[in-house]
Structure 1
Amino acid sequence: MFFRNLTLFRFSPAVAADLERLAEALPDHALRPAGPMEMSTRGFVSPLGRSAEDLTHIVGSNTMVVAGCEDKLLPAAVVNDEVAKRVQKIVEDEGRKVSGRERKRIKDDALNELLPRAFVRPSRTAAYVDRKSGWVVVDTGSRGAAETVLSQIREALGSFPAVPLAPEESPRVLLTHWVSTGELPAGFTLGDEIELRDPATASGAIARCRRQDLDTDEVREHLRTGKQVYKIGLVYDDRISFVLGEDLVVRKVKFTDVVLDEQADSPESAAAELDANFALMALEYERLLAKLAVLFKLPRPE
């Protein structure tokens, strides 16, 4: 259940108290199956799985939720092919052309017949709110998907003024300085992945390295020619490895054996296992995010 990608938002201490209403607010916004004529539905599901009823899971000051959606799979090619068959039948049977208005009606009829038979694709995105430190942590590397989860929480609560990160230090400049000088902040070491780009033009040169030592003349030569660091692999405190982007999305997060060895042995139940893993994960991310907040000057809203 460990989150592998972290898209982050911040909220004020005043908002934190309102988040205690999540447990009572979410049941009215639970995910329901898509109806025969619906393209999609959205809502919350239990972090404990299909058979559980609770839509939140709380450990300390952290509350986990799982936003779900069910989308009907009805490709445009399938609809267009059905419309073409019906139009062709009219042409052959009645010997006349089909007008644009009639074609639209035929398409609507085809949609109404095909939609109830369409396959449903479910998806789930987990997130948690840290009321003490003012973080929303969404398990996705997609800003759009994270915003969708945030919108669902806002809808459930009536309002939720969480905001994207607003760094006072340029992430790209800072990441580039770390690699070019080898002077990383205390506790951080370089990983084995980097993406460098020429910022002069949108179509500028891009260099990517994976599974490679980054403290090399080859990497520094790219920097001397004007490229800047857009993504960099890092290891924090020998406990977490990740790739940090200039958008401050934390991707490809992995705990090292130092952390995994601290997992509880043979939990009594699924709930107990979730408790233990959630507590461990939230504690590690709390330390990491506090460090990133200092380095990039990420203020918590007042």
Structure 2
Amino acid sequence: MFKNVMVYRIGPEWSVSLAQLEAGLQENRFVECGLTQEKSVGWTAPRGDVHGALVEAVGGQWLLKLMLESKAVPGSVLSRKARERAAQIEAVTGRKPGKKEMKEIKEEARITLLPMAFTKQGAVLVWIDPAARLLVIDAASQAKADEVLTCLAKSMPGLGAVLVQTTISPVAAMADWLRSQEPPAGFSVDRECELKAGDDSKAVVRYSRHALDIEEVQQHIAMGKLPTRLAMTWEGRVSFVLTEALQIKKLAFVDGVFQDDASASKDDRFDADAAIATGEIRRLIPDLLEALGGEMTLGVQPLSQPLPLAA
């Protein structure tokens, strides 16, 4: 259900009921791109029902889904059509179109070709924990998360949300865990890591499916390379990759966490999966924040250097 997790803290001033949220999202419900429309963004039913509710409440957790559709004309096709049109104009009038006219010709060609362009759809799952005042976006990039936040602001005026920051930066903590070979309580270090040099060389070392409790990793850190990605498992139940930006990527639930009931209906499976996924992540997030020194209070800067090893 969730593959990548970006965690935001909702401001204390925001308060909205489930009905108010549903009404706000309905004003920006997803509509497919028109013939000459390049992009369409809007909310769609999390359960996949065409006319279903746009907010699903499962165990006190609110689930939303943002749909994004885009159409694009390949640049090579657009350029070819524009050249053909320019050649026609030259053949009829005896003159070559200027720069401004070529720009107009290209735009006309784009509008003409858009109805024939293939559409591409993608969806982003959004989860609000109203009790904990957490907003979780299943996005793999900051740009995608920002797009979701923009759409949320349109549907939920007054919503304030900031990325969760920790007292100890993920880079510093991950370097300490690798050097000491002592991961925080409840966590284990897995077999994937990325180390980057902070100097002008920008050197990068990546380990994949490789043991990290080796001297070579220690040497890289001693020489100034710092971890920007580290694979971990929490409580033997959830595996993920922690990034330098405090993003949780490649999130996966260990076999046995989800119960496969073939006799369950589609709605029952949705409810069960949502309850289990949000329940596990609700426990993971506080433990991870604690391992990183807790949430950063206002005015406190996160540490950016590896912590010294305890004597």
Both structures adopt the same fold (TM-score exceeding 0.5): yes
Moved segments of 4+, more than 6 Å: none
Is 2:103 the counterpart of 1:107?
no
Partner residue, 1:279:
275
Identity of matched residues, %: 28
Moved more, 87-96 or 28-37: 87-96
Alignment of 1:99-138 (within 5 A): 99-138=98-137
Partner residue, 1:295:
291
8 Å contact kept, 1:134–1:300: no
**What TM-score, normalized by structure 1, do the two folds share?**
0.92
Is 2:242 the counterpart of 1:244?
yes
8 Å contact kept, 1:194–1:231: yes
CA drift of 1:108 comes to: 3.0
| Secondary structure at 1:257 match in 2 | coil
**What TM-score, normalized by structure 2, do the two folds share?**
0.89
CA pair 300-131 structure 1, distance change in 2 beyond 3 A:
farther
Deviations 1:72-118 (A, max 9, x none): 12123222211100111122233222223332332232233222222
Q: 2:202 aligns with which of 190, 195, 204?
A: 204
Partner residue, 1:80:
79
CA drift of 1:222 comes to: 1.4
Partner residue, 2:233:
235
CA pair 4-267 structure 1, distance change in 2 beyond 3 A:
farther
Q: For 1:5 and 1:101, locate their aligned partners in 2 and report how far apart those are by CA, in whole Å.
A: 44
Alignment of 1:1-302 (within 5 A): 2-15=1-14, 17-18=15-16, 20=18, 21-201=20-200, 203-260=201-258, 263=259, 265-266=261-262, 268-296=264-292, 297-299=294-296
CA drift of 1:223 comes to: 1.5
Q: For 2:181 and 2:68, locate their aligned partners in 1 and report how far apart those are by CA, in whole Å.
A: 44
Deviations 1:16-51 (A, max 9, x none): x32632222111111001112221111011111143
CA drift of 1:206 comes to: 1.0
Gaps of 5+ in 2: 299-311
Q: For 2:124 and 2:93, locate their aligned partners in 1 and report how far apart those are by CA, in whole Å.
A: 51
CA pair 112-205 structure 1, distance change in 2 beyond 3 A:
closer
Length, aligned pairs only: 296
Partner residue, 2:305:
none
Q: Which structure features the higher share of helix residues?
A: 1
